[in-house]
Structures are given as structure tokens and as C-alpha cells.
Amino acid sequence: MTRRVTKAVFPVAGMGTRFLPATKSVPKEIMTLVDRPLIQYAIDEARAAGITEFIFVTARGKSALEDYFDLAPDLEAKLEASGKTELLDILQSTNMDSGAIAYIRQQKAMGLGHAVWCARRLIGDEPFAVILPDDVIAAETPCLQQMVDAYEGVGGCMVAAMEVPPEKASAYGVLDIEEDHGSLVRARGMVEKPAKGSAPSNLAVIGRYILSPSVMETLDEKKLGAGGEIQLTDAIAAEISAGRGVHGLRFRGQRFDCGSKSGFLQATVAFGLARPDLRDEFSRYLDDVYAMRKAAE
């Protein structure tokens, strides 16, 4: 019987240099997609999957991230006094219970594997999830919930995976597939950013993981991988070498890479059009923009 996954690690120590100058003073995870910061989408997905303990691996300059999840009694009092109950409900839905969030500092950027390793004492001997807030996934059933449901049947480690064009596989960690059962695949290996033309498949790993605590033992060795960093992919691949199961789940949904400017803009359009209160006006605006561009050609 597999143990319930109740802890999640959120690696948020990155500097967000691709979004400078905005990230000079605002953590990338606080940047808003429509009217919610990226980190809120990640938290909501984790909550829906049954996560109750949230571990943030942060760095210097991330105090705004910590403040976001704190109470705002003055603002709540003003909204209540003004009778703005709908806004008050939205605000209160972002609050986190005391003790639900823990913050760990990654003092030196040494890769995703190192960031996850920083949370080892809070993870202990339990399975845990890892969520990268840059990857925002629009799905009817939240991606991590899909993974938790599948994990109950197989245990071990699980990664979210999606098909990518073969020429883009070198930008991802890629699964070497042993058994393919449709939505679920069993891996016989993983390769981080394979050289072009050498990827074992085009099934790429994206920013959702359910991991066995034994992964931390491998990360504790602090072996450097691709880019001279401690790679989480390498630690997961070691699970396969040790005879422990690693599966990839072809999740149902659309992933947006909000770590890139183009991906962030695409997500803004998609999530804006999905909002009933914004859809009509926003759609008309986009139609007008497209018409003007066509007319100018």
C-alpha cells in the first residue's frame, strides 16, 4: 500500500533574470497571470491533490513571497466595512494556516536537485511532491491530482510527461521508455537535456514530480550533472538503476512555460479567454488586433 502524499516542495529560489527589470524587486513567482500570482496557481493545484504541508525553497530577496501568504487584517477590515464580500472571500482564500508553510533558504544556486535536497529534513521518510510554479497547467482535473491517483496504483517515483517535437527534446529531461501503457509509461532511464538527435524518446518531463524519500539519499551525494549542477533527473534515474519503479504520466491538460516571456503571454491569453467575466470583451479585442494586423499586410 502506498503512503499518502501530503508534503510538497516548491523550488522558488531562482532570480527570474528572463523577466528583468520586473524581477529586480518582484519575485517571479508573484508575477500575476490575469489576477493571481503564479505561486497561487501552484498552491491551488497542490491543495486540490491533498497536500497539507508546503515547503518553499527560497533565496535572498523573496520576502514578498512570504508576505503574500500572510494575513492582511487591515485590508480585510476595509473590504468588510465596504461590504465587498466577494473580494474578501477571494482574499481570504489565499491565506494559509499557521504552520502549513515552511521556508528553507538555498544559499547557493546549484541546480534543481540541490534545491529539493535543501528540504530533506522536513521531508523525512515520506513520499513528497515537487511543483515548479513556472509550469502552469490548465486541466479539468489538476495535474498533480491526476498523478496522485495514478501513483496510488504503482508507488515509487512519478513524473509528469508530455510529447514534444523531437527537435526540442534537448531542452528537457527525457524518458527512456521500457513499457508504454498509454497514459502511464514505465521508464528504464532518464536523460537530462540530451544532445540533439540522441534523445531516447520525445516524452519530456515537466515540472511535476512525486518522489520517494530515497531520492534524497542520492541527492545527498551531491554529484554534479548537466551544466555542472546537481540534477534532480539524475537522482530519479538512480532510482531506476536501484531497481525501484519510475513512471511517467501523460497528463491531460495544457502546459504553459511561464518561465519564458512568450509562454507567459500565451498563458495570459488562454486564462483570460477561459474567464467568463473577461471572455467576451477580451475576445473582441483580440479579434480587432488580428483584423488590424491582416489589414496592414
Residue 169 domain flag: yes
Q: What is the mean pLDDT of residues 84-109?
A: 84
Please tell me the predicted confidence (pLDDT) of residue 261. 94
Q: Which pLDDT value is given to residue 266?
A: 96
Q: Burial code of 32-57, b = ≥16 C-beta within 10 A, e = fewer?
A: ebeeebbbbbbbebbbebebebbbbb
pLDDT, tens digit, for every residue of 280-295?
999 999 999 999 988 8
Answer yes or no: is 133 within a domain.
yes
pLDDT for the residue numbered 297? 76
Q: 10 Å Cβ neighbour count for 194?
A: 19
pLDDT averaged over every residue in the chain? 90
Least reliable range by pLDDT among 106-115, 244-253, 267-276: 106-115
Q: How many CA atoms lie within 13 A of 196 on its CB side?
A: 3
Radius of gyration, alpha carbons of the chain: 20
Closest CA to 239 of 175, 161, 162: 175
Q: Quick one: average pLDDT of 157-165?
A: 94
pLDDT for 102-132, tens place per residue?
999 888 888 899 999 999 999 999 999 999 9
More confident residue, 203 or 65: 203
Which range marks the domain in which residue 227 is found? 7-259
* Cα angle 242-117-263, degrees, rounded to a multiple of 5: 100
Q: Is residue 284 part of a domain?
A: no
Task: Report residue 6: phi and psi, to 5°.
Answer: -120, -5
Domain-located, residue 27 = yes
Of 6, 23, 22, nearest to 14 by C-alpha is 23
Q: Give the domain CATH number at 35.
A: 3.90.550.10
pLDDT of 1 strictly over 70 = no
Q: At what angle do helices 279-296 and 261-273 cross, to 10 degrees?
A: 130
Q: Name, of 100-114, 122-136, 162-176, 196-210, the range with top average pLDDT.
A: 122-136
* Number of domains forming the structure of the chain: 1
In a domain, 91, yes or no: yes
pLDDT class for 137, splitting at 50, 70, 90?
very high
- Cβ-based neighbour number of residue 213 at 10 Å: 15
Q: What is the pLDDT of residues 45-60, one digit of tens each?
A: 999 999 999 999 998 8
Residue 272 lies in a domain: no
Query: Is 251 contained in some domain?
Result: yes
* Torsion sign over Cα 274, 277, 280, 284: negative
User: Taking the complete model, does pTM exceed 0.75, yes or no?
Assistant: yes
Residue 275 lies in a domain: no
